[in-house]
C-alpha cells in the first residue's frame, strides 16, 4: 500500500498541483526514481537493510545472457529455484516448496508478454527497481535534505538534471507545505 498509494498516487497528485504540472505525469526517465523512492519507503517501514529488487535484476540478467548465454523461462526458473532453495532458512521440504513458488512467480513476472520459449526475450522493466533503490539510498546518504522533496511529484532524485530543473523553477520542499493545505 505504501508503494502504490503512499508513493505513486501521492506523487501524481502533488505533481499535478505543483508549479510544474508535468510532475504529475513524470519528468523524462523518472521511472527509476519513482520506483526507487517507493521501494525505499517500503524498506524504511519494514526495516529492511538490503537493496530492493535483487530477484528481478537477477532473473532479467540471467534471461538476457549477462554471462554470454541467453535463457528461456525454464532455464531461468531452474537457476532461481536453486537460488531460493539455497538462500532459504526453512526446513528442507518447506524450503523447496517455497523456492518453487518464488522462482515461478519471478519468472512469470520476468517473461510476461513473451512466449517464454525464446532465450533472451524478457521484459526488462524491473531493472529499475534495484537500480532506482540503490540511487535513492545514495541520495538519502549524501543529500538527506532531498528526502523531504520525494513527494513533490514524479522525478528522479538521483538525476542531477531533474534536481536542476526543480531548483530553476523554485520547486522546493516548502512547496509540499502549501500542497498539504
Per-residue pLDDT of 57-84, as tens digits, reads 999 999 999 999 999 999 999 999 999 9
CA angle 60, 158, 58 (to 5 degrees): 15
The better pLDDT of the pair 31, 181 is held by 31
Cell of 33: 526514481
Confidence of residue 178 (pLDDT cuts 50, 70, 90): low
Separation of alpha carbons 170 and 174, rounded Å: 10
- Write out pLDDT tens, residues 140-173: 999 999 999 999 999 999 999 999 999 999 998 6
What is the pLDDT averaged over residues 85-106?
A: 98
Averaged pLDDT score across all residues of the chain:
95
The whole-number pLDDT of residue 2 equals 78
Instruction: Please tell me what DSSP assigns to residue 51.
Output: P
180, pLDDT greater than 90:
no
Separation of alpha carbons 174 and 171, rounded Å: 8
The whole-number pLDDT of residue 176 equals 63
Burial (CB count within 10 angstroms: exposed 0-12, middle 13-18, buried 19+), residue 21: exposed
User: pTM to 2 decimals?
Assistant: 0.88
1, pLDDT greater than 70:
yes
How many other C-beta atoms lie within 10 A of the C-beta of residue 91? Answer: 8
The helix/strand/coil state of 97 is helix
Which segment of 26-30, 47-51, 73-77, 134-138 scores lowest on mean pLDDT?
Answer: 47-51
26, pLDDT greater than 80:
yes
Amino acid at each position: 500500500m505504501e508503494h502504490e498509494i503512499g508513493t505513486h498516487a501521492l506523487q501524481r497528485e502533488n505533481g499535478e498541483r505543483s508549479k510544474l504540472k508535468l510532475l504529475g505525469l513524470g519528468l523524462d526517465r523518472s521511472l527509476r526514481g519513482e520506483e526507487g523512492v517507493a521501494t525505499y519507503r517500503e524498506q524504511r517501514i519494514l526495516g529492511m537493510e538490503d537493496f530492493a529488487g535483487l530477484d528481478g535484476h537477477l532473473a532479467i540478467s540471467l534471461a538476457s545472457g549477462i554471462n554470454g548465454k541467453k535463457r528461456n523461462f525454464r532455464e531461468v526458473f531452474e537457476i532461481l529455484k536453486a537460488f531460493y532453495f539455497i538462500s532459504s532458512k526453512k526446513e528442507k521440504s518447506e524450503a523447496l516448496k517455497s523456492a518453487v513458488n518464488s522462482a515461478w512467480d519471478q519468472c512469470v513476472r520476468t517473461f510476461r508478454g513473451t512466449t517464454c520459449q525464446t532465450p533472451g526475450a524478457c521484459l526488462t522493466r524491473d531493472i529499475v527497481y534495484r537500480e532506482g533503490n540503490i540511487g535513492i539510498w545514495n541520495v538519502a546518504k549524501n543529500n538527506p535534505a532531498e528526502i523531504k522533496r520525494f513527494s513533490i511529484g514524479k522525478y528522479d532524485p538521483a538525476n542531477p538534471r531533474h534536481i536542476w530543473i526543480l531548483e530553476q523553477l523554485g520547486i522546493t520542499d516548502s512547496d509540499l507545505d502549501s500542497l498539504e493545505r
